[in-house]
Amino acid sequence: MTLRKPYPPIDPYRMGRLDVGDGHELYFEECGNPAGLPVVFLHGGPGSGASAPHRRLFDPQRYRIVIFDQRGCGRSLPLGALEANTTWHLVDDLERLRRHLRIERWLLFGGSWGATLALAYAEAHVDRVLGLILRGIFSGRRAELDWFYDGGANRLFPDHWENLVAQISGDEQHDLVAAYRRRLTDPDRTVRAKAAQAWTAWESATVMVRASNPATTLADGTASDGQIAFARIENHFFFHDLWLEEGQLLRDADRLAAVPATIIQGRYDVVTPAITSWQFAQAWPKADYRLVEGAGHAFAEPAILHELLQATDQFAADLPEA
């Protein structure tokens, strides 16, 4: 089988900022066909921001592509802000953005944390959703967080785990998320930078089955403002259990019973193991579940990318333009 490649690079036809209150301004852009099928891309993290390669997941002739940076992320302002930055603020932001762009209903596309936000929004505003394309579902349950930060993934990556825990004193290692929160909110930028390097290196080392440049931790305080913002926001959300009740998104999956979805999951995804997406697929009659052999977590893995492109093409063919 010949694996699909992304669509050619494309520039936005519109860029702007949306004041969503609480001192936050969101960067957003639109690409592709202004009269096409509306799709909103929800980036991962929380905290990472969107980028030009994400535009290339959609046929620009058939899609009206909406991309934005969530609160405190990427080109949104203020960078790295934790105040008034919760899951439910972001759900409300999506609604504000939809109304601002005068979109009646749209397709949601999200992977990892982007899938979390897509599910939270869709369960709250199902009447505004045409469908969902989800990759590597993360639902924020305690077992999922514990797997990645409290024993589980460390058994597969003991060398990289050692780098993560090396930044934390022994009496704090029982709760790494809380320990890193103290450092990522420290008034000293050097302390924040060292913590951000270690936090992001752990995640970078685990996202792909075959990492071309395995992550290392320098912990020398040279992290960029964007890297610090990513680590701060992600840790902030995890520290607060994403402001979700335990199991809430899976519990309320029946609200999406009539909504079509494609769920794409890497068999060897260590960041968001397959059990979560499998459980959603079992609870969701209209979900097309695609378990991808030989693949991990990252959207850029060739086999994952192939399935994502197949899914966006299929939705463009099946759904009417809005």
Q: CA of 180: how far to CAs of 73, 168, 240, 288, in Å?
A: 19, 8, 13, 38
Has 277 been annotated as catalytic? no
Partners of 266 in the β-ladder: 292
Indicate which residue of 48, 76, 112, 277 is catalytic: 112
For this structure, is 297 an active site residue?
Answer: yes
- Distances in Å between the Cα of 199 and the Cα atoms of 23, 154, 216, 302 are 27, 14, 11, 26
The CA distance from 27 to 18, in Å, is 7
Cα separations (Å) of 273 from 51, 129, 207, 250? 25, 26, 11, 15
> 24, 236, 297, 306: which is the annotated catalytic residue?
297
Please, how many CA atoms are within 13 Å of residue 123, restricted to the half-sphere of its CB? Answer: 20
Strands 14-21 and 106-111: unpaired
Amino acid at 223: A
How far apart (Å, rounded) are the C-alpha atoms in residues 145 and 241?
8
Can you tell me the distance from the alpha carbon of 229 to that of 189, in angstroms, rounded to the nearest whole number? 11
> Residue 74 in contact with residue 25, Cβ under 8 Å?
no
Please count the other Cβ atoms lying within 10 Å of the Cβ belonging to residue 53. 12
- The one catalytic residue among 59, 160, 269, 277: 269
**Who's near 143: CB < 8 A, 6+ residues apart?**
none
Residues recognised as catalytic? 112, 269, 297
